[in-house]
Each structure stands twice: as C-alpha cells, then as structure tokens.
Structure 1
Amino acid sequence: MHYQQLGKSDLRVSTLSFGCMSLSPGQSDADQILHYAHEQGINFFDTADLYDKGENERLVGKSLKDRRSQVYIATKVGNQWRPDGSTWDWNPSKNYILEAVEESLKRLQTDYIDLYQLHGGMIEDPIDDTIEAFEQLKQQGKIRHYGISSIRPNVIREYVKRSSITSVMMQYSLLDRRPEEACLDLLHQHSIGVLVRGSLAKGLLINKPATSYLSYQADEVKKAAEAIHSLSQNNRTATAVAFQFAKHHPAVTTAVTGIRTMDQLKACLQAQSGASLTESEYNQLAQSVRPIFYEEHR
C-alpha cells in the first residue's frame, strides 16, 4: 500500500481509502471486510452522519474501536434529519455543527475525529460561522482537521480564501473531469489535499453497460470505457487504470472508494498496486472523451 500526506496535515493516508457508505446496518460480514481492509494497509475510513441516519457511523465505530489508534476516521456534517425521519434539511450553522459532532463522537465510540467535513455547501451559507465551528472543535481536541465535501467551485474558492481546510472531497474520473478547470490546480497550489470519489463512474468505466452519464451520451461513455480497457494488460486491471487516471493530478491524495463486499475490496486492493500511468497513457485517456465543465456554481 502507498501513502501520501493529506494536505498540510500530519495524516499520512493510504492512497486507496474505504468509503463506508455502501456497508449496510446489520451486514454480517462488515467487521470482516473492514478488518481485512485495515490489515491490507488501508488506514482511512470515510463515513457521514447522514448515512443510514447515523447507523453507518455506529457500524464503523464499533468495528474499528479496537484499532482506533491505527486508523483515521473521517465523517461529515451539515445534513440534519427531520424529527419524523422523512428527509433531511441543509444546516451548516455553528450551533448545529457543535451539537452534531457530539452525536457522531458517541456513535463512532471515539473522543476525536481525524477529519470532520462539511457535507456539501452553498455560497449563501454563513461560511464564517461554519469555519468558526470547525476551528472551535479543533481547539477543543474533538477534531484533528476539517475539510469540505463539495463540487462547487465558488464554494471551494471561499473556503480556500477564508479557512484552514485540510482537504476537499470531490467527484473526479475520466467521465467527470470538471474539477480540472478551476479546482485541482488551485487546491494543489494551497497544499489542500483532494479526496477523490466516484473514480469508477458508478462502474461505467469498468464493467457496467454504457448508458448516459452527466452530459455524456451512451456512445461517449462506451468510448471512455474502451479507452480504459485498452490500457489494462498483464496485472493492470481496468479498475487500476481508472484509479490511476483519477490519482494522476498531484493535488489528489487518495481515492475514496465505496466498498460493500469482500470481492470488491480484493479487486480494489489489487488495482491500487497497479503501475502509474505514463504521460502518454494519461493523454490517450484524456483525448478519448470531450471534457465537460461545471454549468452552475462557477
């Protein structure tokens, strides 16, 4: 397993990280999967208070409790469930964040969170109040670092200017290169780590039948998948090629990958050890499909 420093933090993170959202409450083999991931070198586990109304945090906390000092746990805040559980509302207020962290700490069975992330964000938010909440939690030792999970360039720019965020989580893949236009270089310049999600584009780049995705038509998706497969050879799988494309930019620290089964975990572990793309290979992939750009929140 390879490791990289996350931004300016002291967290040295495995370049393949475990996205815990896909694990289900009561899943009988969840402990086995999480423990095996850690034993194979994965040390970063990402969840959120939103997932399964907090039950995902509870699952992760229970499973990793006996190895807490050996792993990094990341979770997210900002989506507040309504009392009747019917849906959630966006709430990035300072008061809510200070309340929500206490519940996350209880569910995770820990007294600190390694990376606490705002689970979204809009330009109309009370951004300074949100930052104050995270800074206060850092001072109290309840979180070690904070970041945001956002694909909105205008929001990301504000947090770069006004906060000391460690990271930004964003979707990025051969079929979603929007972060290249305004975000990746900016974050790299400010030593802010990027946590990539969606690097397999819901499986469309590796094994799912081509269908429309974002503003791509099915025939374009098929071309992208064919380009990925054209570079898979010997021990380098299509999954490995897709991962390496997403991790090619120096701003990217790790690929946070949703894993539900042991087979998926083993396939991802095999893929992460694949050879990095050469510049020629990267360009070949980049030229296989037109880039798209953010239409809103610019």
Structure 2
Amino acid sequence: MRIGWREYIKRRFKRASKYHSVGIEFGIEELQISTLQLIEGKLNWVKQSKIQITDWANQLKHYVDKHELHNTPCRVTLSIAKYPLLQLDKPAVEESEINQALQWVVKEQLGQDIELAIDHFELPASPANAKKLYVVSLPKDEVKVIRNGILAAELNLEAITIEELSACQLLPNSEEASVFLHQDIGDQINLSIVKNGLLYFSRRLKGYENLSSFSEQELQLGIADNLALEIQRSLDYFESQLRQAPIKRAYVALDSPFQQTIVNLIKREILIDMVLLSPSLAKADSISAKTTHFASVGAALGLSKGSNIS
C-alpha cells in the first residue's frame, strides 16, 4: 500500500520524530508495538508494548500521544492468522496488471466474492520451468481500517507487510541459507527458508497450535520427531527442487517454555546446527525479549533493511 502525494507533502512539514521506527504486528487478540531509536549511531530497541485488538485505533492514538511517537516511520505486519499466503503461477500479463489478473484466481481459490487487496512477491528461485509467486490477500475494507487507524494515530505509515517477510529481517544477512521456525501464541508454526535477507520458501505447519501446553515429557513422545520430519522435507525440497546448496543452520523462536528441549530433540534427527533466535539488537533493560515480540521488531527493522514486497 502506497500513500498519496498530498499525504506525503503534508508529512514533510511535520516535526521529525526522535525515534527511528515503529513496528506493529496485528494479531488476532492484540497488537504488539516495537520502537527503535538511533543512539550514538546504533539502533536500539527502546520500547515494547501491546494493546488489545478491541478499540485498537483509539488505544494506539493514546499510546502515540503518551510516548511522543508522532510522525515516526511505521511498518505494519500482519500475523499469519490474519491472511492466506498462496503460491500461484505467475500470470502471463504485464507487471502492472499482475495483481488485477490474480483477483479472479485468488477469489476462486478462497471461495470469496468480496473486493480484495492483493499483493505479491516473486521467489528468488523456483522449480524448473515454473514461474511462481507468493500471493497475499486481505479484504480491502480491512486494509483501509488499518491504514486509517495508523494515520489517525499520526504515525508515518510506510508499508503494510506480512509476518513471513518481517521475520526475515531478524536473521543475519548471509549468502548461506537458513531455516527459521517462528510461532506466535496459539498460531501455526511458520517455517521459512531465508537467504541474503530474501524469502525463498515458506510453509505453515498445522497441529502445533497448542505447543506451549506440552510438557518436556510430552515433547519427547513424538512431537519433536514430527517437527524434525517437516523440517527435513523442506530441506529436501530446497535442495532438490530449487537446486540450492544444503542448509547448515536453523533458528528457532517457538511458543514453548521448553524451546531448548525441542532444539535438542530435533538435532538428534537432522544434522544441522540449531540455535534459539535472539535479535542482535541493543535493547533497553526494561525489555524482556519474547518470541511474541519478534514479528513487530522485524517490521521495525524492515524500515532499515528494506523489504521485498511493495
């Protein structure tokens, strides 16, 4: 989503914010808000808050006023529970006409007949003789509500993106591909493969929505083994179908108090290095980094690193 020129000119005359960026994740029940600030030339994670989804626009306006965040560049990311992500063939039309051409395909796939806001991004690598796109859709009215609420709070909305892409910003930018397992509270697990900051592959793993409720003993009774199998299938696809070099590392940020146990169990089954993700970002002492914060932090970082969706 891009802003109009009148809105752009209006913002140019506003006082610059002392903060670098704000990332906001829209989940099912709450918004996570991460604020970054440049201190002595380095990005610092200085604020982390959440507000309930009910009446979020008024709550956000109050939050921005209280913390003097007006006119701070802001990127919104949507939790994976908020939208479908489809992998579709690239239409044989001009680039400017792709989204319009995808409307009919997406409506048919989803069984919907409402006006959709659609965006897409191309894969850096596709199977042989196949041009594929990842396609995101959301009811257009819902996008307008998000846009209007952010602008009414006097944040400088730069983009609305998705969890799969904002999560990419959390990983080290490397020519060697990595797997990233990320999960918000009660969500499916998002398995992504990232290389050079770009998303090469993404899957949503169902059946793990209650992962946080499992004890260490229960995790040892096949749950971690099943997860290891899903990872191995993705590794095999990445190497054989996308013709990419073997992956040597995986990062983990799951909704479980026993993440290290899960990592240890998976490492017994697949021979790659696995580490718990911790964003390499200086942060205020008052912030206790949790996996539920990571998507909003990634959105805030996206304003520094750029994004691979328009």
Structure with a larger share of its residues in strand: 2
* Bigger Rg over Cα: 2
Structure with the higher fraction of residues in helix conformation: 1
Check whether TM > 0.5.
no
TM-score norm. by structure 2 comes to 0.30
